Amino acid sequence: MKCTTCGTEFEGNFCPACGAPAPREDNPVSFSGEASSDSLFEQQNQPADSFPTVDSFPDMGSEVQVDGFSNADVGPAADDIYPSPDLDAKPTREQEDYSYPSPDLDAKAPENGTAYSQPDTQTPVYGQPPVYGQPPVGNGTPQPGNPYGAPKKKTNGCLIAALIVGGFLVILIIMAIVIGVMIYNNAKEERDWVTGSGLTSNYSYSSSSSGPQTVTPSAPVPEGALTDEEIAQLYADPSAFVGRPVVLTGIVFTTPETDEENIYFQMFSDIANYDGNTVVAYADPDFDLEEDCYVRVVGTVGEMFEGESMTGATLNVPTVIASSVEVVSYMDAAAPTLKEIAVGQTQTQQGYSVTVDKVEFAETETRVYVTVNNGGDDNFHLYSFNAKLIQDNVQYEESPNYDADYPEIESDLLPGATSTGVIVFEPLEQKDFKLYIEGYSDDYSVDFEDYTFDIKVQ
């Protein structure tokens, strides 16, 4: 027969090569090698007491001859190959004890009052196998009997992560603050370079003329004064215009300083762009002048002033030895009138009157002067932002100038009250236009139409 395990051809009950038992056949053969159905039938019909007993079998350890076959040819007994374990045997020194003591649930506490403690089944023992259903214990490294090891001790991972994120955010905030301070300092340094903040004057010029403080320009323009193009070049090369007459308007941006003979101040001649830093010396130490005043200066170009800003930047600034200094309005300094139209048109509805007094055209804006009179019985409301102007089929709306501080029309007028103000529009051409102003009273039963004015420019 052929071994089903290793494929060796053999005769007998076990394979001589691997020791595997011979395959069992469906029809057992007799020791004579022939199957006998009659003998099988006879065996099935024999009485029970005719079957052999255990005692009738020969000793398995002795040699038995049956039809020429001997059990000596079969090989060692199965128990010699796979000995059966002795379940009642106690472990030797070379063996480990894997048993677990069972707790005594009926045990009573000792008389001395010490609490009874159950056996600790969680204490790791070298060589002890893992207790399934319970987490292993230990230092997280493989152990005999516990190849998976035990988990490491828990760490505050979430807390550490939160601290790291928080520290990172703090660093970002600090960096943002530092960058902001650097940007501010750079901007301030640049502004100081332009404005000359921190300059001090050491002039001691004397002049025989002294002009009183006025609110409107009155000093004449001297002959040969610098033109607008030359004034722009003045700040690029001040030394090229020394001794030339000049007329400048601007805003004072530092606190004036005085000595026994003169008053000194710095001004921007370019009000819109805060540019054109100029140092002015005027021979009137008692002249009333403050920071943020608008001035008109008439004088002569002096020597270039060299100084330092608060940040250490070197400044080359033109100077003017003034023969006249006048305090003027924003309008006279920044947006002087190019053309003025006297209108004097009034429209009245239900006793509420609106009058357009005049219109001024300037290079940077258009100013409409309006007077409102409440001659009715209820409160009257007029808002300048509702005013509209049409010129050449183009509609314009109010364009407020907050630097000018022009008078404003009261939006809520009580009966008998009058208010005058300026409505500012963007610069227009000096030609005809139509103006629409909306107004209404608290008497909502009265309908109002827009106050409409046709402005003729000649």
299: CATH: 2.40.50.140
Mean pLDDT of 362-391: 96
Residues 296 and 391 in one domain: no
How many Cα atoms within 13 Å fall on the side-chain side of residue 213?
11
Mean pLDDT of 300-325: 88
Cβ burial, residue 449 (10 Å; 0-12/13-18/19+):
exposed
Least confident window among 202-216, 278-292, 309-323: 202-216
pLDDT for position 367: 97
Q: Does 336 have pLDDT greater than 70?
A: yes
Reading the block at residue 111, the tokens are 């008389």
How many Cα atoms within 13 Å fall on the side-chain side of residue 419?
20
Residue-wise pLDDT tens digits, 1-29? 788 788 888 787 778 878 778 776 554 54
Reading the block at residue 151, the tokens are 């988990």
Residue type present at position 206: S
Within-domain flag for 413: yes
Cα separation, 423 vs 401, whole angstroms: 9
Within-domain flag for 75: yes
pLDDT for position 160: 85
Percent of the chain with pLDDT over 90: 46
Q: Among 84, 111, 141, which residue terminates a domain?
A: 84
Whether the Cβ atoms of residue 8 and residue 18 lie closer than 8 Å to each other: yes
Q: Give strand ranges (E) for 319-393.
A: 319-328, 337-349, 352-362, 366-374, 380-382, 388-391
**Phi, psi for 77 (deg, rounded to 5):** -70, 155
Residues 355 and 284 in one domain: no
Least confident window among 80-89, 227-236, 244-253, 282-291: 80-89
CATH of the domain at 373: 2.60.40.4170
Q: Among 334, 367, 391, which residue terminates a domain?
A: 334
Residues 278 and 248 in one domain: yes
Q: Does 194 have pLDDT greater than 70?
A: no
Whether the Cβ atoms of residue 290 and residue 252 lie closer than 8 Å to each other: yes
Residues 241 and 314 in one domain: yes
pLDDT for position 8: 81
In the block, tokens 């790291």 appear at 164
Within-domain flag for 382: yes
Residues 300 and 251 in one domain: yes
Within-domain flag for 237: yes
Of the candidates 149, 145, 150, 142, the one whose C-alpha atom is nearest the C-alpha of residue 128 is 145
User: Which residues lie below 8 Å from residue 189, measured CB to CB, with a gap of 6+?
Assistant: 309, 311, 313
Q: Among 313, 334, 355, which residue terminates a domain?
A: 334
Mean pLDDT of 277-293: 93
Number of domains composing the chain: 3
Within-domain flag for 56: yes
Residues 372 and 443 in one domain: yes
Q: Which domain holds residue 271?
A: 228-334
pLDDT for position 4: 79
Residues 367 and 291 in one domain: no
Residues 244 and 259 in one domain: yes
Task: Look at the alpha carbons of 148, 153, 159, 163 in this order and tell me if their dihedral is positive or negative.
Answer: negative
Whether the Cβ atoms of residue 263 and residue 297 lie closer than 8 Å to each other: no
pLDDT for position 93: 53
Within-domain flag for 207: no
Q: Does 180 have pLDDT greater than 50?
A: yes
pLDDT for position 5: 80
Within-domain flag for 410: yes
pLDDT grade for 50, boundaries at 50, 70 and 90: low
Residues 272 and 354 in one domain: no
Residues 329 and 429 in one domain: no
CB atoms within 10 A of CB 307: 16
Terminal Cα-to-Cα distance of the chain (whole angstroms): 136
Q: Give strand ranges (E) for 52-99.
A: 65-66, 69-70
**DSSP-based three-state secondary structure for 50:** helix
Cα separation, 280 vs 245, whole angstroms: 13
Residues 330 and 312 in one domain: yes
Cα separation, 311 vs 23, whole angstroms: 107
Most confident of 28-32, 277-281, 302-306, 332-336: 277-281
Within-domain flag for 300: yes
Residues 321 and 242 in one domain: yes
pLDDT for position 142: 56
pLDDT for position 108: 61
Residues of 400-414 as b/e, b for ≥16 C-beta within 10 angstroms? ebeebebeebbbebe
When computed from its CA atoms, the radius of gyration of the chain, rounded to whole angstroms, is 59
